Amino acid sequence: MRQWIVLAALCGLLSPFGASAQPAVPDVPFHDSLRGTTPLDEETKPPLIYPTENKDVIRGRAYAQQPPTIPHKIDGYQVDKNANRCLACHARSRAAESGAVPIGVTHYTDRAGATLGSLAPRRYFCTQCHVPQADTKPLVSNTFTDVEDIRLAPGSKPASSHKN
């Protein structure tokens, strides 16, 4: 008898609760912020591609060490192992002539912190960190608050420095 119970449990005929559990199906239809209510086995209609901003206005940054965004169109720019179109204007040797912001000095250091005579290989593919912008509605809500905007809650005391 004991062997039958073990065999039945392994085959899924018995559960610890006496009946096999079925997954609960929610009453509301599935909704994904990117797919909407389209079932997973169907193709969605792709959203419109918003035009890239081309204002050449440098945006503020939301946090320290945030890479600056690209304030112009980069459609058709070649940035691959063979060429980097960004360097035509942003290389330190060409920035004064083009009027572009020169590449930061951090892009000329390797992982060990040694200064190189040319762009560091790990910084060559600009669009890994820097992205163009479009004026679009966010896909998900954002509750980010800058550390400078955080205020003390009413009734709380500021942290005091510990003195010995």
Q: Is 107 annotated as a binding residue?
A: yes
Q: Is 162 annotated as a binding residue?
A: no
Tell me the two tokens of residue 137: 């509605």
Q: Is 86 annotated as a binding residue?
A: yes
Q: Which residues of 3-26 are buried (b: 16+ CB within 10 A; e: fewer)?
A: eeeeeeeeeeebeeeeeeeeeeee
Q: Is 31 annotated as a binding residue?
A: no
Distances (CA, A) of 105 to 9, 96, 113: 65, 15, 11
Q: Is 11 annotated as a binding residue?
A: no
Q: Is 90 annotated as a binding residue?
A: yes
Q: Is 126 annotated as a binding residue?
A: yes
Angle of CA points 157, 158, 159, to nearest 5°: 115
Annotated binding residues for heme c, written as ranges, equal 72, 86, 89-90, 107, 126, 129-130
Annotated binding residues, written as ranges, equal 72, 86, 89-90, 107, 126, 129-130
